Amino acid sequence: MSGKIFLVAAESSGDALGADLARVLKQRDPSLDLAGIGGALMEAEGLKSQVDISGLAVLGFIDGLLAYKRVKIAVEAAVATILVAKPDVVVLIDSWGFTLRVAHGVRAAAPEIKLVKYVGPQVWASRPGRAKTLAAAVDHLICIHDFEVPFYAPYNLPCTVCGHPALGRFKQGDGAAFRARHGIGRDEKLLLVLPGSRPSEIRRIGPTLWRGAEVLKRDHPALRFLVVAASAVRDSVVAQAPASALIVDEAEKEDAFAAADASIAASGTVTTEVALQGTPLVVGYKLGWITWALARAFLFKGKYSTLMNVAADAEVAPELIQTRLTPANIAKAAAPLLDDSAKREAQVHAQNNALDKMGRGGRQAGEIAADAVLGVMRA
């Protein structure tokens, strides 16, 4: 046995990263002993989780307080599972609060285990002091962007830049085939609505996105709605969506994204995935009011919340955040993407330029991450 690596993911996006990393690690060295905590995608790669991660995808101050006991129990279970497994390396994937607590628990009980953080906190946007906190907790960081590295240099935390994982996972969708499968005419306008992947996002953002979609439909009576629902939140998505909306599973994600004429979406990894399919989008986001007040006063310092816009240093995709996220504003921003082919093409072109700046066309993030993890293990 050449070594044991333990992967930890606490929500669906991390589960996807963990599954991709596990797949590449097995390709690199079939003799590796891989174990982990995650979801269905990691389990499909042979990493059956002994800790239930459902309900850990929390966001915001109030949601965090409400979930504190559940997170505390899950952290204790995760640390105990890792200590029994006795891995050489633990890879802590995304989910800042949860994985940091796991890192502290493992480091205190078994300092000989090497710790790697895969996707760091957004120190470039808020709370740069987290760079020092992370550097004291782990041995290596695999981050997404070059501009993150200088934040960690003062604390001597080794960093590997992998690029945005969505770029590496990209698979060109077949929009024409999707429309044919679902009886959607070539000339019918199709609006993709993506209310988020966390229950709190769907609860706060979904109703406004749908009201905005209905405003658009008043001026576009033939407009059809399309939703891609992750399995973990499918019931919540279905409950919100109009009866006429076409709801498909993630297995059709790439084709659905490519088939849409425009999208209105909650900020997150999905905005990059939609842009990669050549579909223009409007981005919306809303936090709880206490969390928003704290963020604006003390935490958030970035100009943009969407990574494409950060990379371009411009509002390539319109952002409607907090008070600006209204049905009228959604309709106003999205209507030109349905009505004006020149404006639509201009935004797609700008999105493509931003994606190039984010590293489209380079090595896959999973491959770079796997090499970094193996390097830490063998050092």
**How confident is the model at residue 146, as a pLDDT?**
85
CA distance 234 to 231: 5
Whether residue 150 is predicted with pLDDT greater than 90 in this model: the reply is yes
Give me the pLDDT at residue 294, please.
Answer: 53
Q: Is 220 within 8 Å of 331 (Cβ atoms)?
A: no
In this structure, the answer to whether residues 217 and 337 fall within a common structural domain is yes
pLDDT score at 301:
57
pLDDT at 62: 41
Based on the domain organization, do 215 and 143 belong to the same domain?
no
The pLDDT score that the predictor gives to residue 287 is 67
DSSP 296: I
Beta-strand relationship, 114-118 and 190-194: unpaired
Q: In the predicted model, is pLDDT for residue 180 greater than 50?
A: yes
pLDDT above 90 covers what percent of the chain? 65
pLDDT at residue 105, rounded to an integer:
97
Q: Is the dihedral of CA 58, 62, 64, 69 positive or negative?
A: negative
Beta strand 246-249 with 140-143 is unpaired
Cα 227–Cα 230–Cα 234 angle in degrees, nearest 5: 75
Q: 66: pLDDT confidence band, cut at 50, 70 and 90?
A: very low
What torsion do the CA atoms of 251, 257, 258, 263 make, to the nearest 10 degrees? 170
Residue 195: band (very low, low, confident or very high) from pLDDT cuts 50, 70, 90: very high
131/279 same-domain check: no
**296 pLDDT higher than 70:** no
Query: What is the Cα–Cα distance from 63 to 68, expressed in whole angstroms?
Result: 8
pLDDT for the residue numbered 204:
87
Are residues 253 and 302 located together in one domain of the fold?
Answer: yes
pLDDT value of position 338: 96
Task: State whether 124 and 228 are in the same domain.
Answer: no
Calculate mean pLDDT across residues 47-74.
65
Q: Is residue 10's pLDDT more than 90?
A: no
* Chain segment 333-377, per-residue pLDDT in tens: 999 999 999 999 999 999 999 998 887 766 788 999 999 999 999
State whether 183 and 293 are in the same domain: yes
How many structural domains is the chain composed of? 2
Average pLDDT for the chain? 89
Which residue type is seen at 275? A
Residues 142 and 185 in one domain: no
Residues 243 and 152 in one domain: no
Q: What is the per-residue pLDDT across 261-293, written as a single tens digit (0 to 9) for each? A: 999 999 888 999 999 999 999 999 886 555 545
Radius of gyration of the chain (CA): 21
Report the CATH number that the domain containing residue 198 is assigned in CATH. 3.40.50.2000
Q: How far is 216 from 360, CA to CA, in rounded Å?
A: 32
pLDDT tens-place string over residues 82-129: 999 999 999 999 988 899 999 999 999 999 999 999 999 988 767 788
Q: Tell me the C-alpha distance between 165 and 269, whole Å.
A: 9
Query: Strand pairing partners for 140?
Result: 116
Residue 85, domain extent: 4-169+362-378
pLDDT tens per residue across span 233-261: 889 899 999 999 999 998 999 999 999 99
Residue 59's pLDDT band (cuts 50, 70, 90): very low
Same domain, yes or no: 53 and 149: yes
Let me know whether 73 and 139 are in one domain: yes
Confidence of residue 56 (pLDDT cuts 50, 70, 90): low
Quick one: pLDDT at residue 34?
97
* pLDDT at residue number 58: 44
What per-residue confidence (pLDDT) applies to 71?
Answer: 78
Contact 82, 113 (CB under 8 A): yes
pLDDT given at position 135: 97
Assess whether 257 and 273 both reside in one domain.
yes
Task: Tell me: do 179 and 165 sit in the same domain.
Answer: no
